[in-house]
Amino acid sequence: MIKLLILADDFTGTLDTAVQFAEKGISVRISVDPEEAQFDSDYEVLAVDLETRHLDKREAYTRVYKIAKRGLAAGVEYIYKKTDSTLRGNIGSELEALTVACNQESVCFLPAYPQAGRTTKKGVQYLDGVPIHKSIFGADPYEPVRYSLVSEIIGETSDIQTRNVGTDELESLYKGKKDCGEVMIVDAETVEDIGLVAEFLSRKRKLKLFAGCAGFATYLDRIISFKHTKLINFPGANKLVMVSGSLNEVTAQQIRIYEENGSETLGRFTLKVLQKLQEHYFQSGECKETLRIIKEKIQNNEVCIIDTFDTEPGETKRIAIEQGLEGMALGERIADNIGELIEIMTKSFPEALYLLTGGDTLYGYIKRHKKAQIIPIREVEKGAVLTAVKEEGSLLFMITKAGGLGTERVVENVKSYMKARTN
């Protein structure tokens, strides 16, 4: 029976959180369709991708409310609202929807992810010691973070009551008004801080609603009792295909560092604006030469990197606007085209390991295969999740990460992991 329901606002976040349980041997089921999410199974954790990151706040509220209500009716004991570690998206409206659906219960919100440099001090969110709105996420061309005070970020999409709680004030988690539906924002600057919060909550065992990123999710097994099972074995691979749908500077730097290491077995291909924006480009006759080149690079190199970076600053956005594509529509078009490309590549090179960056990259492929089983296995490094995609007897292995996560040497680390498993 499902004990814990995880609600995420994008696919990468769903995997980042679900894998925290999977690699501990806790059975996890992932659903990319909230309307079809099944609660009558032997899995103990159900992680649902709601795709609310870029929605209107009212639609985001509705999606969270509906699935939370369904979960409660099915007997789910605990709900975890997974939020972006840089606090993008409809944080406030989604947390409000959760509390309303659960009869005004308060939610314990711990947004820190110290392993990835995200910390919370006196209610302010930091990235590597810099207030989040002054970091690279404050300059995001599509979705800039405008505030660093978590309560102000929540206030952008909701009027829900909030309260800051320091790590030395944990007893106050139970001293607020009952049934007021408030969001209790809990500080954490280190992994040890998160452990202390989890230990405190495990002793009390009164709260049922939690929120945060993968950092807090790692410790939920201290609060909730689970059974354990076996992991799927990854056999390794001889080829690594990286597909980057992210424009984040963190990802760009990760690719540059791998190239600068002087690998002689690297193929590189940058998609042109037409290949990103033309609807169903990779199903058209125009793509034949492009596909020939890409397949040749994969065939002849141990590592191949396909990216979506502009050759001229702002080029894609400028041309997209001319074509009437903006915001969510632009992101969906690029994700759809990349999804078609990934599908073609996996048919030609099914035994390769695929490293996919950007929240919508893997989702562009998965939404074409909604009946596939998505099985998180483990984190190769923090934020880089190894996943098995099982469909009609075939098994593909993919590693996915958000654009802003991963170490500088994530590509090299993934390659080393791949080779070690092969050997």
Beta-strand runs (E) in 271-383? 303-307, 353-357, 373-381
Question: For position 19, what pLDDT does the model report?
Answer: 92
Residue 79 φ then ψ, to 5°: -130, 135
DSSP letter, residue 107: E
Beta bridge partners of 47: 6, 30
pTM for this entry = 0.80
The CATH number for 240-422, chosen from 3.50.50.60, 2.170.190.11, 1.10.3720.10, 3.40.980.20, is 3.40.980.20
Q: Mean pLDDT per segment of 10 residues, for the chain of length 423 residues? A: 93 90 91 84 90 93 96 94 93 97 93 93 95 88 86 96 93 72 95 94 85 93 88 89 86 90 84 91 91 96 92 84 79 88 94 89 83 88 89 89 86 91 64
Question: For position 393, what pLDDT does the model report?
Answer: 79
Q: Each residue of 272-306: pLDDT tens digit?
A: 998 999 999 998 888 999 999 999 999 999 999 99
Q: What angle do CA 236, 238, 340 make, to 5 degrees?
A: 95
**How many angstroms separate the CA atoms of 120 and 129, rounded?**
10
User: What are the structure tokens assigned to 53, written together?
Assistant: 């990151």
* 295 sits in which H/E element: helix 288-300
* 275 sits in which H/E element: helix 273-277
Burial class (CB in 10 A: 0-12, 13-18, 19+), 235: exposed
User: What are the structure tokens assigned to 201, written together?
Assistant: 């909550």
Which residue type occupies 29? R
Q: Where in the chain is the domain with CATH 3.40.980.20?
A: 240-422
Question: For position 263, what pLDDT does the model report?
Answer: 67
Largest CA distance in the chain: 66
Note the helical H segments in 23-76: 57-73
Beta strands 394-401 and 384-391 are antiparallel
CB atoms within 10 A of CB 248: 19
Q: Each residue of 310-342: pLDDT tens digit?
A: 888 888 888 888 888 777 778 788 889 999 999
Question: For position 183, what pLDDT does the model report?
Answer: 95
Identify the CATH number of the domain defined by range 4-222. Answer: 3.40.50.10840
Q: Where in the chain is the domain with CATH 3.40.50.10840?
A: 4-222
Q: What angle do CA 38, 109, 6 make, to 5 degrees?
A: 10
